Amino acid sequence: MKIATFNINGIKARMPRLTEWLEETRPSVACLQEIKSQDDGFPASDFEGLGYEAIWHGQKSFNGVAILVDAKAGYQISEVQRGLGIDGPKEGEGEQSRYLEADVTDANGHTTRVVCIYLPNGNPQPGPKFDYKIAWMARLRERMRAIWEEEVPAAVLGDYNVIPEDDDVWSPKAMANDALMQPESRAAYARLLADGWTDAVRTLNPRGGVWTYWDYQSGAWQRDHGFRIDHVLLSPTLADRLEAVGVDREHRGREKASDHAPVWALFSR
């Protein structure tokens, strides 16, 4: 089983790149963030044509998450929960579409809990958006603890919008004031790891230096000015089966690419 996460930055604008990536790398499960599409506009039939079954939690203009499974390879998906029950930072806007949780069953009947998240960015900080980010992380931790109690194999993956350590960014100094690496953001992420969740990419790359995002501006891609904010967190039984991780960097360099690259984790079954 190969589980992947990809912040696609607009599903309409990215469909050609997304299609290529699915055909070339064929993940068993793909978590997508920032689909920036309402539920009605989601191209489910295009994914069906590629052999993928999807569930999605859309929103107009911003945010939006989806989970795809390789139906052609025998995977099935069943939604467990959408949303964490937390309102956005603006008065009366309601909940943003950032959380989608499902059970994924393989051809042999083995089920894995898969949680696709798009954690709030939190800039500018300090301010209400940063407060929202920290509150969202607290709610996420509560939900992850509940999943932990279920003792199911689980992966919580997506765009965490947190740079966990200084060696996860090309220049800690350049990013020092960003919400992505504030001590509060890092502490909230560290609490998830302290709870027992395994950071798959960090575990297999203990020296850091792995990037998953490069800004569109200032030639960041050409200069390799990136950082790691897309993470794959694993429950113990799933972590035991972890065989490899990777970042599909090459896809970041293509025409009309997302500013994020896909991140994947491979398991023994």
- Give the C-alpha distances (Å, rounded to integers) separating 265 from 86, 166, 223: 29, 23, 26
* Identity of the residue, 90 or 223, whose beta carbon is nearer to DNA in the bound complex: 90
* Identity of the residue, 9 or 235, whose beta carbon is nearer to DNA in the bound complex: 9
Strand partners, 234: 155, 198
Least separation in angstroms between CB 1 and DNA? 26
Tokens of residue 235, six digits: 């429950």
Residue pair 10/237 in contact by the 8 Å Cβ criterion: no
Least separation in angstroms between CB 230 and DNA? 9
* Identity of the residue, 235 or 258, whose beta carbon is nearer to DNA in the bound complex: 258
Least separation in angstroms between CB 25 and DNA? 20
Tokens of residue 34, six digits: 């920032």
Enclosing H/E stretch for 33: strand 29-33
Which value, to the nearest 10 degrees, does the dihedral of the CA atoms of residues 140, 2, 61, 38 take? -100
* Residue numbers annotated as active site: 118, 159
Binding site for DNA (CB under 7 A): 7, 9-13, 34, 36-38, 41, 60-63, 90, 120-121, 123-124, 129, 159, 161, 178, 180, 213, 215-218, 227, 229, 256, 259-260
Question: Which DSSP string do the residues of 194-248 spell out, in sequence order?
Answer: HTT-EEHHHHH-TT-----EE-SGGGHHHHT-EE--EEEEE-HHHHTTEEEEEE-
Least separation in angstroms between CB 132 and DNA? 9
Q: How far is CA 115 from the centre of its chain?
A: 9
Q: Determine what percent of the chain falls in helix, strand and coil, rounding each to the nearest 5.
A: 35, 30, 40
* Identity of the residue, 151 or 215, whose beta carbon is nearer to DNA in the bound complex: 215
* Identity of the residue, 13 or 146, whose beta carbon is nearer to DNA in the bound complex: 13
Least separation in angstroms between CB 60 and DNA? 5
